[in-house]
Amino acid sequence: MKKVFLFCAIVVLVIGIAAMPASSLAKGKGPIKIGFIGPMTGHAAQTGRDMFSGLQLFLIEQGWQVAGRKIKLISEDTEAKPAVALTKVRKLVEKDGVHVLIGGLMASTGYALMPYVDAKKIPAMYVIMASDDLTQRKRGKYMVRTGWSSSQPSHPFGVYAAKELGLRKVVTIGYDYAFGWEVVGGFQRTFEDAGGRIIQKLWTPVGTMDYGPFLGRISKDADAVFALFFGGGALQFVKQYKDYGLKDKMTLLGGGTTTDESVLPSMGDEAVGTITTLHYSGALDTPENKKFTKAFKEFAGKAASYYGEGPYTGGKWIIEAAKKIKGDVEDSEKFLNALKTLKLTGAPRGPYELDKFGNPVQNIYIRKVERVGGELQNTVIKTYPKVSQFWTYDVDWYLKQPLYARDYPPLKK
């Protein structure tokens, strides 16, 4: 029996120690606390590290302080699971007392966090999470999206493909879940409105490693193929696309992640000539971007991709907003307002601001993979300035349409 009580005493002690930081929370003006969440373990760990590096890099450049206050960065692992992210965000908010949250990769994480941050009134910076409805039909008040929405880069690209590339018939192939549907759906809407036609839509499960069966089904009538993949899937698809002899017959187009700088260095000549679209390119020829990519390479030891740029710029966004309110981040209403009305210049991706739904209005770059100085890069071949998430459509009309899905827009007969 004695030992049982001894055990209980130990339990109490452990819990007590674990709980201590909360009770000793500084009452006065301590540091500004930024809570970062991202996948540090699991299949998306590399992406999570890139995100973390981007944010760290900015804060180092900033000297870990703003408006006379120190900055403290606390990071937590989400394992790329929304439920875990929610638990970790509770910890960051309730135990660590962070003033602002940043990060998150999966769209589902974005939806999971929204009710919580609204209830706790903690601004949350969505720098990567791109699901359309976060700033369209299911908006949250305390979410500040400085990243992008999935279909945003696809809209101008559809017009570009029809008008400037002169394509008429395109086959789409992409991951069979919300992100894939939205990127492909955005392309389909504007491409068809500009006179083109999608003649076939193929969907592959996330994690597919052999695209042979899908490539064999691609219609030979097509002028081009629009592909949406990321990570290992992107590497494999682009390679097999050439192996199956399709590269010489049909131009390969794609969503930004298909040739993102996080996978591009692992690709070979099979990727050259692929045209994709995103709100960022590592090859952007601006002084800000050159400085960023150089610093990122030195800091993280690898090429900067939009996964690094998003949190880097997000960190800058937080700091600029904190400056504007003279560091008074405890007033979360005021802080949120500053975050939402900021107009940022000098970001690697170019100038941008948020629309009234909280999504960036920013440059969209059409990029072509080229080999420059022995290395592959996404050369910008056209810039669409100030692109809104609704493209040129009427906002009310747009919001009345369903969200892009597997079968929406439907194939035209």
What minimum distance in Å lies between the beta carbon of 302 and other proteins? 17
Query: What gap in Å lies between CA 8 and CA 398, rounded to an integer?
Result: 60
Number of H helices, E strands in the chain: 12, 15
Query: What gap in Å lies between CA 385 and CA 130, rounded to an integer?
Result: 19
- Does the protein bind other proteins through residue 257 (CB under 8 A)? no
What minimum distance in Å lies between the beta carbon of 342 and other proteins? 27
Among 35, 82, 174, 308, binds other proteins (CB under 8 A): 82
- Does the protein bind other proteins through residue 91 (CB under 8 A)? yes
What minimum distance in Å lies between the beta carbon of 232 and other proteins? 18
Q: In the Cβ-directed half-sphere of 283, how many Cα atoms lie within 13 Å?
A: 25
What minimum distance in Å lies between the beta carbon of 1 and other proteins? 6
Among 98, 114, 161, 198, binds other proteins (CB under 8 A): 114
Q: For other proteins, how many residues bind (rule: CB under 8 A)?
A: 47
Helical H segments across 62-121, by residue range? 82-90, 107-120
Region from 76-84, 147-155, 270-278, 280-288 binding other proteins, contact rule CB under 8 A = 76-84
Residue 210, SS3? coil
Q: Which positions ≥6 away from 85 have C-beta within 8 Å?
A: 37, 78, 104, 106, 109, 112, 113
What minimum distance in Å lies between the beta carbon of 58 and other proteins? 19
Among 15, 60, 209, 411, binds other proteins (CB under 8 A): 15
Among residues 19 and 411, whose Cβ is nearest to other proteins? 19
Distance of CA 291 to the CA centre of its chain: 21
Region from 1-9, 330-338, 367-375, 392-400 binding other proteins, contact rule CB under 8 A = 1-9
Backbone angles phi, psi at 221, to 5 degrees: -80, -10
Site string for other proteins, 115-154 (x = CB under 8 A): xx--------------x-x----x----------------
Contact 235, 262 (CB under 8 A): no
Other beta carbons less than 10 A from residue 232's beta carbon = 14
Nearest to 281 by CA among 395, 211, 372, 190: 372
Among 121, 406, 410, 411, binds other proteins (CB under 8 A): 406
Q: Which positions ≥6 away from 277 have C-beta within 8 Å?
A: 153, 154, 156, 157, 160, 254, 255, 256, 364, 365, 366, 367
Among 59, 71, 101, 107, binds other proteins (CB under 8 A): 107
Among 10, 13, 70, 94, binds other proteins (CB under 8 A): 94
Contact residues for other proteins, defined by CB under 8 A: 1, 3-5, 7-8, 11-12, 15, 18-19, 22-23, 40-41, 74-77, 81-84, 86-88, 90-91, 94-95, 106-108, 111-112, 114-116, 131, 133, 138, 176-179, 405-406
